[in-house]
Amino acid sequence: MKEVLRLGILELKEAYRRRELNPIEVTEAYLQWIKEIDPVIEAYITLDEEGALKAAEEAARRFHEGEASYLTGIPLAVKDNICTKGLLTTCASRILSNFVPPYDATVVERLRRQGAIILGKTNLDEFAMGSSTENSAFKLTRNPWDLKRTPGGSSGGSAAAVSAWECVVSLGSDTGGSIRQPAAFCGVVGLKPTYGRVSRYGLVAFASSLDQIGPLARSVEDCALLFEAISGHDPKDSTSLPIPQEEGLLEGIRGDPKGLRIGIPKEYFVQGLDEEVKERVLDLAALLEGLGLHVEEISLPHTEYAVATYYIICTSEASSNLARYDGVKYGLRVEGKDLMDMYMETRSKGFGPEVKRRIMLGTFALSAGYYDQYYYKASQVRTLIKRDFEQAFERCDLILTPTSPTPAFLLGEKVEDPLQMYLSDIFTIPANLAGLPALSIPCGLSKDGLPIGAQLIGRPCDERTILKVARAYQEASGLKLYPPVLDRLDSKR
Amino acid sequence: MKITVEQVEYVARLSRLKLSEEEKLRFTDQLDSILRYMEKLNELDTTGVVPTFQVIPEVNVLREDLVQRPFSREEIMGNAPSSEEGYYKVPRVI
């Protein structure tokens, strides 16, 4: 079993093509391992055994008929805020605990069309609001590297599932770091694409000008292949960029990155940054220099304003987006003495504390008398943050930073102090505000054995350069990370 | 500016949320410290800076007016907590 679960997309495809393995036995191996290990990790909210095996049979047929593509027969997981037709989609919220979407999100439709196998739906912070997955209404996901620690969030279930080999790859969503930070905490690769590069149709909206769906994987190649499969214009999303799907990305990222210019922003290496995180990221920079890339210090002067800007904008957008949960059209209803009372009872019992907090913050920031001071002001500062990047990209091709100021923190450590939790997103938020593509790649372990992630930020729609440099680093470093929880696999046949 | 319990009650009402007394006090403290942190933005002079509401070019997206298969009423209403004869049912309004 261990040998089967270890395989990446390209290896699985080759094994399928040679008839050494078939999608049904691989899917069965994943389901068996999930049943064994997920009671410990709790990455999945819903497991779709029946649907997965049906998709596996269909994938086997495709291989037989020779019409397979990269993702045919690949078992993967989908964050539970992405709609799957006929399969529960809860957003880890009581208010959607019974919601079965009548349609597939565009990304899911594209994966199904390619013959991918959806194993199930993964845990998250309720409505993707959080940085530790502790805000889930249903369960606590644990970090496969240390079960006392958070997997990060909000895509904590998707990151933990990839890390603990409970799927080959997964989909997450990233509004302020929700793919990259859990990827860093769990020692996997995670990409937030350029805003508009991947359709948001069917992604349950949190903050519409920031949300983006993206891949998590154990290798840069797998990350690139999943990104390619979901990218491209979608007429169902009016903010989708009018650019076709990526093509030939796998070949494109295999080139030599020599000569590329990497900028390291000095504002990211300040107090609050863990010393080991700093060292590992600078080691990565040194390795890239050894490969013939140019590394230089740059400045992104408005970095310190990003957290305040982000938490005004995202809560404002959230307060508007979440107004739709009223107990009428779908989801939970709690009866009240009249219509207004029914709305209020439903929302009060349906939303958890962090979601309420953000709805209230956003409502305040947009309310009469405060709009100019908060929302408008933050939108102006957003322009300044975006300009910082535009100026930096005149001098460099990519920006290298830590993904998170620290490795994974303990479960319970920050959950009582929302502001401290918000501040942990400081390095990932700016890319969302500016709409830029950004990737987190593992760059080593701390002395406590926790993964550390480095972030590469690129120009709009230049995921290719990011993936190329990440791949060159992955190959040159030879870094392969296996969380201790995988030891339990050794006893398996 | 200090956030008061009255302001929290007002915002909760706008948000269609009912808060317990304990929640009101906790949210008052938390919103106060978060909003205090956000005042950091006032350090910046943004006079004349054009705001960014959306990072992609803001244009109207139009398409051909083609007939497509819509969702059936049953598919859409299937998730409704209460419905009757193709209508959503809510508590009496009038």
pLDDT digits (tens, 9 = 90+) for A127-152: 999 999 999 999 999 999 999 999 99
Whether B87 maps to a domain, the answer reads: no
A461 Cβ under 8 Å from any chain B Cβ: no
Q: Are A437 and A461 in contact (CB under 8 A)?
A: yes
What interface predicted TM-score (ipTM) does this complex get?
0.96
- For residues B91 and A206, give the distance between their C-alpha atoms in angstroms, rounded to a whole number: 28
B34: which chain A residues are within 8 Å (Cβ-Cβ)? Answer: 311, 361, 418-419, 422
Residue A46's contacts (CB-CB under 8 Å, 6 or more residues apart) are A80, A87, A88, A90, A120, A121
- For residues A78 and A91, give the distance between their C-alpha atoms in angstroms, rounded to a whole number: 11
Judge: A103–B17 Cβ closer than 8 Å, yes or no. no
Nearest to A73 by CA among A132, A127, A25: A25
Work out the angle at residue A342's Cα, subtended by the Cα atoms of residues A340 and A345, and round it to the nearest 5 degrees: 110
Confidence of residue A72 (pLDDT cuts 50, 70, 90): very high
- For residues A37 and A309, give the distance between their C-alpha atoms in angstroms, rounded to a whole number: 40
Whether B24 maps to a domain, the answer reads: yes
E strand map for chain B? 83-84, 87-88
Whether B82 maps to a domain, the answer reads: no
Residue A259's contacts (CB-CB under 8 Å, 6 or more residues apart) are A292, A293, A294
Q: Are A201 and A239 in contact (CB under 8 A)?
A: no
A243 Cβ under 8 Å from any chain B Cβ: no
Whether B12 maps to a domain, the answer reads: yes
A319 Cβ under 8 Å from any chain B Cβ: yes
Interface test with A, best of B13, B52, B77, B89 (most A CBs within 10 A): B52
Nearest chain A residue to B62, by CA: A238
Of A330, A339, A348, the CB nearest to B18: A348
Of B31, B44, B93, the CB nearest to A364: B31
Q: What b-and-e string marks burial along A22-54, b requiring 16 or more CB atoms within 10 Å of the CB?
A: bbbebbbbbbebbeebbeebbbbbbbbeebbbe
- Look up the domain containing B16 and give its range: 5-43
Q: CATH number of the domain at B14, please.
A: 1.10.20
Whether B31 maps to a domain, the answer reads: yes
B75: which chain A residues are within 8 Å (Cβ-Cβ)? Answer: 102
Of A336, A361, A422, the CB nearest to B31: A361
Residue A303's contacts (CB-CB under 8 Å, 6 or more residues apart) are A265, A267, A268, A385, A388, A426, A430
A337: which chain B residues are within 8 Å (Cβ-Cβ)? Answer: 91
pLDDT digits (tens, 9 = 90+) for A183-208: 999 999 999 999 999 999 999 999 99
Tokens of A486: 């995988």
Domains, in order of start, for chain A: 2-301+387-489 (3.90.1300.10)
State how many domains chain B has. Answer: 1
- For residues A189 and A454, give the distance between their C-alpha atoms in angstroms, rounded to a whole number: 10
Judge: A384–B44 Cβ closer than 8 Å, yes or no. yes
Q: What is the pLDDT of residue A409?
A: 96
Judge: B55–A435 Cβ closer than 8 Å, yes or no. yes
Q: What b-and-e string marks burial along A154-181, b requiring 16 or more CB atoms within 10 Å of the CB?
A: bbbbbbbbbbbbbbbbbbbbbbbbbbbb
pLDDT digits (tens, 9 = 90+) for A4-52: 999 999 999 999 999 999 999 999 999 999 999 999 999 999 999 999 9
Q: How remote is the C-alpha of A356 from its chain's centroid? A: 23
pLDDT digits (tens, 9 = 90+) for A438-479: 999 999 999 999 999 999 999 999 999 999 999 999 999 999
SS3 content of chain A, % helix, strand, coil (to 5): 45, 15, 40
B5 to chain A, minimum CA–CA distance in Å?
13
| Max Cα distance, chain A (Å) | 70
pTM: predicted TM-score of the whole model, two decimal places: 0.97
A235: which chain B residues are within 8 Å (Cβ-Cβ)? Answer: 63
Residue A391's contacts (CB-CB under 8 Å, 6 or more residues apart) are none
Tokens of B7: 């302001």
Nearest to A165 by CA among A220, A96, A218: A218
List the catalytic residues of A.
Answer: 79, 154, 178
Nearest to A195 by CA among B52, B60, B54: B54
Whether B83 maps to a domain, the answer reads: no
Whether B11 maps to a domain, the answer reads: yes
Judge: A102–B75 Cβ closer than 8 Å, yes or no. yes
Nearest chain A residue to B86, by CA: A329
Whether B34 maps to a domain, the answer reads: yes
A307: which chain B residues are within 8 Å (Cβ-Cβ)? Answer: 37
Tokens of A359: 């709805």
